[in-house]
Every structure is written in C-alpha cells, then in structure tokens.
Structure 1
C-alpha cells in the first residue's frame, strides 16, 4: 500500500518539478558533500593507503604551528576585548543616559556599512606607516617609529572595533527588551547602579552574550584580512598560512589540514553554543513588560568618565570613515603624503572610476558576481523552502541538514575543498575542470550564503497562512501557478531583503575571494587589499578610496531599506 501511494504521488509531480529536485540533489552532492569528503581523503590517504604524513608535516612545520598558536591567541584575546567594547557601546546607547546618544549611535554603527578588507585598509590608511594620524604624530614626536602599526597589537586593535557590529544589533535589541520594572524594584530596595547591572541586567543578556562570544572566537580563529594586511612577518595566523600553502601543489595537503582544523573548531564551538542555549534558563518572569528607561549616572566623576569614554570611542570609529571620504576627493599626491591642502581637492578620482573601463572593471566584476550569486542562492533557497514547506518527511529533513553544511564550515575550508577537488576532471561535473575558471568563485559565493538565505526564506514560507494554498487548489489552480501568483508575492518583500543583504556582503568579500578568483577578473576585495601594499601606486590608492566610499554608500542604502524602513514601520 505504501509503495502504491508513493508511486501515485510520484506520478502527480510535474516533470519540471522533478528536474528541479534532481538539480538540487546534484548541487548538494557535487558541491556540499563531495568536496568536503574529498579533503579527508586527500589528507589521510596517499595513493589509496592511509597515511598521517600531512599531520607529521604540520607538526614539524614551525610556521604552521606558530600560525595555529597565533590564531587561538587572537581568538581568545578578541573574546575579551570585543565583548568589553561591545557591551560598553550598548550601555552608552541603550542603558545609560548619555548626551548625544543618537550621534554616538551613528558612529558606533559605521562597522555595519564597511567591514572586512575595506575596514582594515581604512585603518591602515589612518594609522599605517604613511597614515594620516601617524604623520600627524610624527610631526609632534620626530623620534617616533612610523612603522608602529603592525603585528599582534595592530590586528587586535582593528578587529576589536571591527567586530562589534553584532553587539550593537543583537545585544542592543536584547537590552531594549529588558523589563524596566525589575530594575526599578531593585533600585527601590537600595541596589546601586553597578549592582543592578551585574545582578539584574547582565543575566538577561546571557543568551545573546554566549552566542556572540562563540561568533567572536570563530571570527578571530578564521581572520584573514587584518592578519594579512597588518600582521606582518611576526604575526601570521591560520588563514593567511592556508593561502600561502594552497598556492603550491606540494603543500596543499598542509593547507587542507589547517582548513580541516578550522572546520573542527567551528563544529565544536557551534555544538557548545547550542548546548549552552538549551541548558540555560534566562527567561523573564514578568508577564507585562515596561519599556526600558535610560539610567542616569549619579556620580559626577562617573558621569564625566562615561561621557569621555563614549566620545573617545566615537572618534575611534569615525576617524577612518571620515578620512576615507575626505581623501577620496583629493589628488594622488595628497593621498600618498597624507596631507590636506586647499588646492588638493578634486572630483577627478570619481570621474575616472565612472569614465574609464579599466578603473570601473573591478567594480563591474564584483557587481556581476554579487548579482549572479545573490539571485542563484535565493532561487535555490526558494525551491528548497518550498519542498520543506510542502513535504514533512525524512527526505525533506535530510535536504535541510545538507543545505546547512556550509554553516558549520569556515569559508577557508570550503574554498580549499573546491580547489583540491575540482583542479582535475570529475565525472560528477562531466569531466570539467573548475579551478582557474570564473565559475569557481561564483559557486563559492553561492555555497557560503546558502544557510542564512535558507533560514530567512524558510521562515517566510512557514509564516504563510496554509488556507491560502488550499483555497487556490480548490479553485483548480496548479501548484506552480499557486506558488507564482499567490505565495511568492507575499514572501517577495522579505526575499528581496535577503537578496539585498547577500548582494551587499558579496561586493567587497575578500576571505573567500582570495582563494577562488580568476586573475584576469579581480573583484573589489582583491583590488582594495592590493592597494594596501607598500609598492601600490598613489593613483591606485586614490581609486580604492573611491571604491570604498561607493561601497559604504551602497551598504548604507541597503541597510536602510532592509532594517530602517521596517523598524520605523
């Protein structure tokens, strides 16, 4: 009976739908499962025989072991510094009554519109050997070492202020949901401001802080841009070392093993995070919550210190952004010497970007990749979410878990898996070689954005009223017509928001791009990173500043339409 029912269902499925399901299954096997299994085989099996040669090479490599130590050192350090700064930012904008909080929020939110290689290059432009602040300080202190901004300290400083985006978004949101009645009750019982924060406010924020701590650790462990640009010879981490090893056929097994270590660390930490979330009990006991009222700092000295620290942090966040924008309107000489003169301002840099194909090409390449990848991953997520919404069986569950595989893997491991697997003909791709083609990077972009896109699109599907589809079916509408005319228009706004965020995140990506890009088609992330090299021409740096400004403007517009309008509505 079961077999007959299954056959009947199979016959009712439209052939086009079967083809679609087959393509999804092929994509999962070809790009999510096979490359990752192939890494294990390439590392531990030489000519079909089990071998620990790669492990022995790793243990005997001083550079590789030092990079592992540096990565874990950076990850642990960032957990302390990012949490300290992130919690402070949220307190200044959401909890304490600080004058000018709206202005401060604008400065603290700048990391939402520029990040990654753009942010790191901006900090190097300000604090590097030829940076504006460094030149300014050198004028006051002639004996100063102008090459001071590099190594562990520089990487930690930049990443500390670069990684607070999640705090201002998610921890700030959690802070606004705190029941003010509990704070007022504690104050009426004589509790001090610090005691209330420590014993009343902080416990409610624990779930968010646990999640953010895990994410910070993973970010530090897999850091690419900051160690590569600012780390120097003395502070090399895992990902830059993987990049170095992956360029040689003889050391690719080391690159794969280091990437595997990153993947195992990611899996372990995500498991810990899930366990902590399940085991914790941090729910508020109040049934009727009152809106949080900002707390005044009673101590004059404490109030002065808080305001000084708040605006000091504001300057740290705003100086790189302001200088990038200002210097993008200056000539190459001013940019090279980090000096501002009345006659140095010009619009030539912007004119060149939009009038010269050679200058506009990196931007065009990034836009093409971002558009193609965003549309492809949204289409895949829509098809998969439709299956998950319509069918509640073990195959649908397996499909969901398979599509979440990239969530458990660092971008480095995904890139190495693609390189190692598809640098030779493979039957699953019709004996095509992908390594060295423009398709490799596109596939990589699609893979890394699948988990986030699937979760958002799936949530939209499951929020639909099931009676809508039943009504359409009773009127004789076919499944595809119902999806196209009834369901899709409802979920389209949230789907477009996800597409916009994916487009935004892909434009200036560097961490994945550096492994998979085609040399003749360099995206913005690669061009911006190359402009930070000492031998880069002043004209190249000028164009990079323009690229950075345009990216920040596009990011700000995207965030406004995705978050700002919905928040105001």
Structure 2
C-alpha cells in the first residue's frame, strides 16, 4: 500500500476505534486462541518433546474408554427419545386440536424456566431413593427397589424431558410457518390425518429437526449434570470423567485429551449441519401462505391415545416442579421423609435464605458473577458490533469470526484450556496466575456467552438507519457522542434483553462452573449439586429447594420480559 492510501486509511479510523480493536485483539489472542492451542501443546508436547503418552494412557484406561462409549450411547439414544417427545409436544400444542392444549403448553414449557442442574436435582428429589414418587411406589408395591433411579435409564429419562426446550422454541416457530394450503389440498384429495402429518407436515420441518438432532447429539456428548448426579459408578460419561482427571495433577493430560476429542466431535457435527443446511432446499412453493388451523384427529381411537399420552407427559413435566415448590415451604423432616401434611408448611426456609448471610452467600456469589459477566460480555459485544457496523473490511471480518470461536467448542474444552494455560505465570497477562482466583470463572462465563451476545447485538446495530448517524455527524457530533446519544438508545432494549438472558443462564450454571469455581465462593449450581449427595444435610436440601424456586421465578420473569411482551406487542 502506498503512503497516500495508508494515510487515508488511518485517517478514517479514529483513536477510540483503534483502542477498541487493540483491546479486542488482545482478548481474543489471550483467552480464545492461546488457551485452546495450549491444550494441544500440553497433550502432545507436555514433556518438552512430541509424545503420544496421553493417547496410550487414554486407550489403556478402562474408565476413560467406557466414558467415551457411554457418551456416544447417550447421545445416540437422546436423538431418538428427545425427538420423539419434542415433536409430539409441538404437534399436540400447535398442530392437533387437543382439549386443554393451553394448559398442556404450560406444563411442557416448564423446562424453559427449570433446566440444568436445578432440573436434574429436582428429578432426583422426586424419583431418588428418598423421593416422593419412590416412597409412593414402595408403599403401593412393598417389594419395590428404592434404588431404582440411577444409571443409564435414569440419565436418559431425565435428559429426554430436559432437552425438549429447543423443540418447544424452534420447532414451534417452524410449524407456525407451515403453509396451511398444502394441508387443505391433501385433505381435499382424501388423505388421512396421519398420512398428511407424515407426508406433508414433517418433510417441511425436516431441516429444523435435523439441526435439533445435531444439537441433541452434542448435548448428549457433553452432558454433565445428569450423568454426574444420576449416572452412578456404572454409567460415567466424558465430562464427569474430564472433571475427575482435571482434579488430579498426574491426569490433566487425560482430561485435556478427552476434552479435545469432545471438541473435535463438536466441530465435525457443526460442519455437517452447516453443509446440510446449504445443500438442502425445503422452502414452501406457495406464494401466498395461509395461517395454520389446528387439525382434528378423526380416528376416535387415535384421538384417545394422543390425549392420554399428552396428559401423561404433562404429569411427568409438572410433578417435579410442583413438588419442589410445595416442599420448599415445609420443614427439614418432611423433606427428608418425603411426606406432606397440613401442619408442616412454613416460611422459615425462605426467611433463612434472605436473613442468614451464610445461607444467602451462594445466591449472592452467583448474582455477582452473573451481573459482572453479563455486563462485561455486553460491553465487549457493543465494542465489536460498533467496529463491524462502521468498518466493513477484512480485519473486521477476522474480528467477527474470532469472537465466534467459543460457539464451535464445548464449554468443557474451554474450561480445560483455561486451567492448563493459566496455572502458571504468563507474560501475556503480566505474569499473573488466574487458576485458584475468582477471575478465571468470570472470564469463562464471558467467553462462552460472547457468540450469542455478539449475534444479537450486531443484528440490532445493522437494523439502524445509517442516515441517523450521518445526520448527527453533519450537525457536528463526534463519533462517541453520536453513538451514546443516537445509536445506543435505539439498540438498548434488545441489548438489555440479551443481558437479561445471559444473567439468567449464568445464575445456576453448573457444567462450566464446576471446573473453575473458587472453593470459598461456591455459586448456586455447585451448592445445588452438592445437596443431591447422600450425605447432604436436610437443612441444606431445604435451602436448595428455595434456591430452585427463586431461580424458576426469576427465569419466568426474564423470559416474559424478553419474549412475552414482544408477542403481546
């Protein structure tokens, strides 16, 4: 590039943009690229020279190989069970004319406010050795095995109902876009209800179902909470095994190698999904689409069976939520014995949480982490989106793709990368050691939430009329002033919505938290998981139920604030 062109390029980029670009570049290299490359180095060059010792150790470790096998078995099983349940839920609430569909929808939507370690602990509370349903079954059938709810079956059962959230959101939206004229045309030709479903409706939903299938497989491979809490010794999967190895100084290379295998599987599956979406063509051929009208099931026996199945699933979804709420208002003895009686209801558990600092501390720790990480990731995304919006060149594209790196990696690999990289002084961080500090978990939260936040904030930026900023500039406003007074107020509502969703997601996180949390500052996810252990005190279990209820309420409020008001508007 000659000097006049170079001066012209430099003059178009102000100092603030240069500083933002420099900071983002340092952040990307330090926390997104370096730790993940360092994982490879620690595995194959940990002793100073190339070695495959970690691979040999992994192959010779029966536990590690079993965990790999179990993870792929779980992932494959979830594809079948979750797709069957999720598609059925969407059809019952959106396609078929089912009595009480609005009530059923409330039950099916509980996983949107009740997920992760909170959901798994809730199912164990209900179906575990001392759970309400187990006590009821042992009363009805005296020889019933109270230790029935563990292993592969329990993990698959819980994850089947926990993972239908994406179907409820994405498949519902896809079904609502279906052209009803094609359904009417098939009916006029004498096709039966289930024939239309199989040959007309489901093929249109095929791309969404395929994308959800890939996500399900990835979820099964990286499952943490359910296998850790319910898997027992007979069904251990990759992520719990990575956690076990990561806590041992001599086995960190095995943890890194397992995380790397998980990362490679993730990249391959995401590549497959992208390629399928590019090659697929499933668009409707109708130019004028008509709104979908719910279909009656004309076959009487079929209608009865569908209604029965719909309400059985409703009971399965709602029982854990209702029992958690009920038992959160009871004393420790009632929780331990899984018994309900009119005289045991009390507000003492809630009073303890909000009046006792020791009881409130996990909640406070999670709130601080969630607030700090949500704000930090929004600020980073605003900086990046501003650059992407203003400068459409090769460097801005490199910046965007670099910030999307965490979307291609499982959180387990990100956590292991941070652990093996920042356990010793690093010049790129001023020789600071992050492992064992409060900062490492905060950084990890920011990393994993950058891609989603960036996509949402960037979309808001590019929806702004560029003439507004030009008008401000013509009136003499500086770049930062026009951003603060013109652009920011426009994108603020959607930005706050993303911040709320991130806050909500971080609050009870366990899968990432368990690798990086400080022992003296345990977040809610860790405390809730610990309450599921057999040696947990009854008072601890009581407080955990309160935490779970509060989290569900906060999640419901957040989702209504983000989605509910939009739909009303």
TM-score by length of 2: 0.99
Secondary structure of 1:190's aligned partner: coil
Measure the CA separation in 1 of the matches of 2:122 and 2:3.
63
> What is aligned with 1:306?
306
> What is aligned with 2:318?
318
Report if the CA contact (8 A) 2:381-2:457 is conserved.
Answer: yes
**Residue 555 (str. 1) matches residue 555 (str. 2):** yes
Measure the CA separation in 2 of the matches of 1:191 and 1:63.
53
> What is aligned with 2:83?
83
Measure the CA separation in 2 of the matches of 1:246 and 1:114.
29
Indicate the larger mover: 1-10 or 54-63.
1-10
> What is aligned with 2:461?
461
How far does the alpha carbon of each residue in 1:392-439 deviate from its partner, in whole angstroms, 9 at most, with x for none? 111111101100000000000000000000000000000000000000
> What is aligned with 2:342?
342
> What is aligned with 1:481?
481
How far does the alpha carbon of each residue in 1:456-505 deviate from its partner, in whole angstroms, 9 at most, with x for none? 11111111111111111111111111111111111111110000000000
Measure the CA separation in 2 of the matches of 1:221 and 1:563.
30
* Alpha-carbon offset, residue 11 of structure 1: 4.4
* Alpha-carbon offset, residue 12 of structure 1: 5.3
Measure the CA separation in 2 of the matches of 1:119 and 1:47.
42
> What is aligned with 2:22?
22
> What is aligned with 2:43?
43
**Residue 373 (str. 1) matches residue 373 (str. 2):** yes
> What is aligned with 1:414?
414
Measure the CA separation in 1 of the matches of 2:278 and 2:118.
37
* Alpha-carbon offset, residue 198 of structure 1: 1.0
Secondary structure of 2:562's aligned partner: helix
Task: Give every structure 1 segment of 4 or more consecutive aligned residues whose post-TM-superposition deviation is greater than 4 Å.
Answer: none
Measure the CA separation in 2 of the matches of 1:213 and 1:162.
15
How far does the alpha carbon of each residue in 1:161-197 deviate from its partner, in whole angstroms, 9 at most, with x for none? 0000000111011111111111000010011111111
Measure the CA separation in 2 of the matches of 1:431 and 1:389.
35
Q: CA RMSD of the aligned region, Å?
A: 0.9
Measure the CA separation in 2 of the matches of 1:365 and 1:7.
49
Secondary structure of 2:302's aligned partner: helix
Secondary structure of 2:510's aligned partner: coil
Measure the CA separation in 1 of the matches of 2:16 and 2:133.
61
* Alpha-carbon offset, residue 512 of structure 1: 0.2
* Alpha-carbon offset, residue 8 of structure 1: 3.7
> What is aligned with 2:118?
118
> What is aligned with 1:182?
182
Q: How does 1:355-394 map to 2 (within 5 A)?
A: 355-394=355-394
Indicate the larger mover: 302-311 or 17-26.
17-26
Q: How does 1:482-501 map to 2 (within 5 A)?
A: 482-501=482-501
Measure the CA separation in 2 of the matches of 1:114 and 1:381.
27
**Residue 428 (str. 1) matches residue 441 (str. 2):** no
> What is aligned with 1:519?
519
* Alpha-carbon offset, residue 61 of structure 1: 0.4
Gaps of 5+ in 1: none
* Alpha-carbon offset, residue 549 of structure 1: 0.2
Report if the CA contact (8 A) 2:17-2:387 is conserved.
Answer: no
Measure the CA separation in 1 of the matches of 2:312 and 2:343.
31
> What is aligned with 2:153?
153
Measure the CA separation in 1 of the matches of 2:6 and 2:464.
27
Corresponding pairs, count: 569
Secondary structure of 2:220's aligned partner: helix
> What is aligned with 1:398?
398
* Alpha-carbon offset, residue 48 of structure 1: 2.7
How far does the alpha carbon of each residue in 1:436-467 deviate from its partner, in whole angstroms, 9 at most, with x for none? 00000000000000000001111111111111
Measure the CA separation in 2 of the matches of 1:412 and 1:457.
26
Measure the CA separation in 2 of the matches of 1:12 and 1:277.
38
Measure the CA separation in 2 of the matches of 1:406 and 1:173.
26
**Residue 229 (str. 1) matches residue 229 (str. 2):** yes
> What is aligned with 1:69?
69
> What is aligned with 2:207?
207
* Alpha-carbon offset, residue 17 of structure 1: 3.4
* Alpha-carbon offset, residue 2 of structure 1: 4.5
Indicate the larger mover: 503-512 or 294-303.
294-303
> What is aligned with 2:566?
566
* Alpha-carbon offset, residue 533 of structure 1: 0.2
Measure the CA separation in 1 of the matches of 2:223 and 2:282.
31
> What is aligned with 2:444?
444
* Alpha-carbon offset, residue 10 of structure 1: 2.4
> What is aligned with 1:259?
259
Measure the CA separation in 2 of the matches of 1:458 and 1:175.
27
Secondary structure of 1:49's aligned partner: coil
Secondary structure of 1:46's aligned partner: coil
Report if the CA contact (8 A) 2:229-2:532 is conserved.
Answer: yes
Measure the CA separation in 1 of the matches of 2:140 and 2:85.
29
Report if the CA contact (8 A) 2:415-2:512 is conserved.
Answer: yes
Q: How does 1:287-306 map to 2 (within 5 A)?
A: 287-306=287-306
Measure the CA separation in 2 of the matches of 1:316 and 1:557.
23
Measure the CA separation in 2 of the matches of 1:370 and 1:9.
39
Q: 1:3 to 1:192 in 2, by over 3 A?
A: farther
Measure the CA separation in 2 of the matches of 1:493 and 1:116.
27
* Alpha-carbon offset, residue 16 of structure 1: 3.6
Measure the CA separation in 2 of the matches of 1:448 and 1:66.
28
> What is aligned with 1:98?
98
Measure the CA separation in 1 of the matches of 2:31 and 2:511.
19
Measure the CA separation in 2 of the matches of 1:11 and 1:173.
46
Measure the CA separation in 2 of the matches of 1:19 and 1:387.
11
